[in-house]
Structure 1
Amino acid sequence: MVSLDRKYAFRLNTMDSYDAGLCRAVLRFVREREPDFVGDSRPLASVAGFSWPGFGFDVIGRVRPEAHRLFPKDPELNRAVLGIFPAYSMEISGFESAAQAAERFSRMLNPSNLGRGPSPYVLIRFDNPRTGAGTIGDEPVFVSREYALHELGSLEGVREAYLELWNYRNEKWRVSWDGDWIVAGSYSELEIPGSGLSEWLYSVIG
């Protein structure tokens, strides 16, 4: 599908899954909300308000040429294509850099699989002196929620350890251990018993 100003082509990929009704609904939604998709300069963004029976998708994602590399052997064509895909609101923040957007789109979201479940946006930076695990330098990394929960659990009993976490709303928390889990956010600090850690994590990442 070509944009009304004929500057871009919208590309919707499917692999190992296909639903004609869903695909038509995605394209119709993009056409109806086209200015939101074309006019947004962020590498990765989403437009809310989408739904289709039988699927949990609640947004349509849009990835720009600098992040999708759908046609790496044809740079001119690649620059003219906007990737679109049904997605979940918890997956995309809109704050991703081009490199982060490329990683999310190509490695974590699996956007061409229409039967997929959500891959929540979980960005972490951490250090654990006891296990030796941690991120390198100041840059946080994307991980699965299961990995985040594993590393959070490994902080227990290590007062010098910490884990910082961002979700798709760009909300940030710092988690540490001081007999209980201490969770410091932008506006509050919580004490969470060990049994409540996974419930807290799932509530903040969606």
Structure 2
Amino acid sequence: MDLTSTVSALPGATPVEGLPDAWHWSRAVFNFDAVLTPDKSRSLQMNVMGRYDAGLARAVLEFAREHSAEFAAGDRPLVAVGGFSYPGWEFDTIVAVGRAVHDYHSQALPELHQATLAVFPGYRNEFSGTETEDEAWERFRKMLQPTKLEREQVPFLKLSYTNTRTQGGSKGPDRVLAPLSRLLRELPLLEDAPGSHVEWENAAGEVSRAEWDTALTLSGASGKREITIDELLKYAEQNVTGAGSGS
């Protein structure tokens, strides 16, 4: 497939001024921008629903093309590259997901779908770099709202828990993707629930575990210690949103 002729022929596509091999088009509430990789083997496409910033979109495309070798290497389901910035926005990371995760052009132009990486701006604490295909799909399709620029941060978090008092718990022995709100909801429920635990992993791969036996304890990279509920909640939020605080 000749990507130059294919993308430039999309309905309403016009060149992005000053950025070679890049086009913008729109439909209803969506704006679309795409740029080809230097070897013209891939299209890096950003979709935006609602509020749109043409300057930000161009900066995302420029960054994505500069780092296209990293994004395209190994056909990984999700690749996040830090070091991005643009005035007026707090995004610090650009992310690309592969064809197994996104559905861009999958129905109308299957060949273009195969050659397209979906790119979008995000935050470093949202990505671990170890996401499986299933995890990347869930993050992209269900959790992050990647087509919205004015979205809340959704920090990467994998969680497992069991509570002997509420009889609640996660399914299976493994940590699974979860929102920060669930972690902060489950931690106070540990109090006076012997045999209960909450274990979580942040974007940096750090694992922390809170348990109740005769007292509340926190275990992490620096060992195990007793902790109050208020201290635990503060620690957990900082650990997940900052993706690097120790225990």
TM-score band w.r.t. shorter chain: over 0.9
The answer as to 2:90 corresponding to 1:56 is yes
Deviation at 1:71, TM superposition (A): 3.8
Q: How does 1:71-82 map to 2 (within 5 A)?
A: 71-73=105-107, 75-82=110-117
Deviation at 1:97, TM superposition (A): 0.6
Q: How does 1:37-186 map to 2 (within 5 A)?
A: 37-39=71-73, 41-73=75-107, 75-186=110-221
Aligned equivalents of 1:6, 1:87: Cα separation in 2: 25
Say how many residue pairs are matched.
206
| 5+ long unaligned stretches in structure 1 | none
Contact residue 180 and residue 194 of structure 1 kept, 8 A: no
**TM-score (normalised: structure 1):** 0.93
Contact residue 190 and residue 196 of structure 2 kept, 8 A: yes
Aligned equivalents of 1:168, 1:202: Cα separation in 2: 13
CA RMSD of aligned residues (A): 1.6
Q: What secondary structure is seen at the aligned counterpart in 2 of 1:7?
A: coil
Letter in 1 for 2:37: S
Letter in 2 for 1:66: A
Over the matched positions of the two proteins, sequence identity in percent amounts to 35
Deviation at 1:34, TM superposition (A): 2.1
Q: Deviations over 1:66-92 (max 9, x none)?
A: 122334435433221111100000001
Letter in 1 for 2:171: I
Contact residue 109 and residue 119 of structure 1 kept, 8 A: yes
| 5+ long unaligned stretches in structure 2 | 1-34, 242-247
Letter in 2 for 1:81: T
Letter in 2 for 1:202: E
Aligned equivalents of 1:200, 1:179: Cα separation in 2: 21
Aligned equivalents of 1:77, 1:134: Cα separation in 2: 43
Give the equivalent residue in structure 1 for 2:42.
Answer: 8
Relative to structure 1, is the Cα distance of residues 189 and 17 closer, same or farther in structure 2, using a 3 angstrom cutoff? same
Q: Flag the structure with more relative contact order, 1 or 2, with Cα contacts below 8 A and sequence separation at least 6.
A: 1
Letter in 2 for 1:37: F
Deviation at 1:98, TM superposition (A): 0.1
Deviation at 1:43, TM superposition (A): 1.3
Aligned equivalents of 1:179, 1:45: Cα separation in 2: 43
Contact residue 60 and residue 87 of structure 1 kept, 8 A: yes
